[in-house]
Amino acid sequence: MGRKAIEPNPAVRVGMAVSYRTVANLFTLWWIGFLFLDAVKREDRIMFPSAIVTVKEVLLWEYARLMAEKALGDRNNWRITLHHFEKLKSDKKRWAAILKEEVRVDPNRCIYCASGEDLTVTYIVPKSMCPLAQMHNTVRTCKKCNYSKGDKDLIEWRVFEGHDKIPRGAMERYLKIVYLCHECNGTSDECALDESGKHDLVYLGYVLQYPCDPARVRENTA
């Protein structure tokens, strides 16, 4: 005779069914939440920056990203970036004060790679330099980074080297320099979009190639 099949206890069957349903419901809720957060992130990433048009707005947005990184360690936190951007844009006195603040970095480390060996004093912008931004231009770098960068634009150099991210201290200084030079040259309210409608930070650095107008410098420092 064959063995009689053992029928599971009805209570056990009910419990198993409830457990399966609970797991399925939890997974569904998790998936809905994931899709919602992803949609919010994509909306912030794509839709809001498209409203930024001028050179000044692009530079303020990029600086707001650095403020978000300083606060939360995340340069791509778009909601915190938006919060700081709106404050910078509306509070001109606060932004003017930030422009005059010295960016604090470790003087015993290369500003680009954080190496502590073979350090030398050099400049983020090696050629013509707006006197308004001189305090942000002098930095300490290792000889390797100094040789590799040469006279290249900071962003252009980092992209060419295959780095996705510029260290916050170096980026803060660069943005202040570029902003001040655009203000000095009267180009901060120009359109910052390229032909495809995208922002190009490398393009914004073109202003660093122009010699400063002494009269405009006196006007901005008066």
Task: Report the alpha-carbon distance of residue 174 to residue 37 in Å, rounded.
Answer: 33
* 97 domain residue, yes or no: no
Tell me, yes or no, if the pTM score tops 0.75. no
Determine, yes or no, domain membership for 62.
no
| pLDDT band at 64; cut points 50, 70, 90 | very high
Q: Which residues contact 188 (CB under 8 A, 6 or more apart)?
A: 54, 55, 56, 59, 179, 182
- Regarding whether 217 and 107 lie in a shared domain, the answer is yes
Q: What's the pLDDT tens digit per position in 167-179?
A: 999 999 999 988 8
Same domain flag for 37 and 120? no
Is residue 1 one of the residues assigned to a domain? no
Whether residues 217 and 110 fall in one domain: yes
- Residue 85 is assigned to a structural domain of this protein: no
Q: What is the largest CA-CA distance in the chain?
A: 109
Residue 92 within any structural domain of the chain: no
Judge contact between 145 and 167, C-beta under 8 A: no
Q: Is residue 164 part of a domain?
A: yes
Q: Which residues pair with 193 in a beta bridge?
A: 199
Q: Can you name the residues that pair with 87 across neighbouring β-strands?
A: none
Residues 35 and 111 both lie in one domain: no
| pLDDT at site 15 | 53
Confirm whether 116 is domain-assigned.
Answer: yes
What's the structural domain count of the chain? Answer: 2
Domain span holding position 42:
11-47
The SS3 assignment for 119 reads strand
CB 48 within 8 A of CB 78: yes
Whether residue 15 sits in one domain with residue 111: no
Two structure tokens written together for 203: 């393009």
For residue 25, tell me if it sits in a domain.
yes
Q: Do 211 and 144 reside in the same domain of the chain?
A: yes
Q: How far apart are CA 76 and CA 85, in angstroms?
A: 13
C-beta of residue 218 within 8 angstroms of C-beta of residue 181: no
With a pLDDT cut of 90, the percent of the chain lying above it is 20
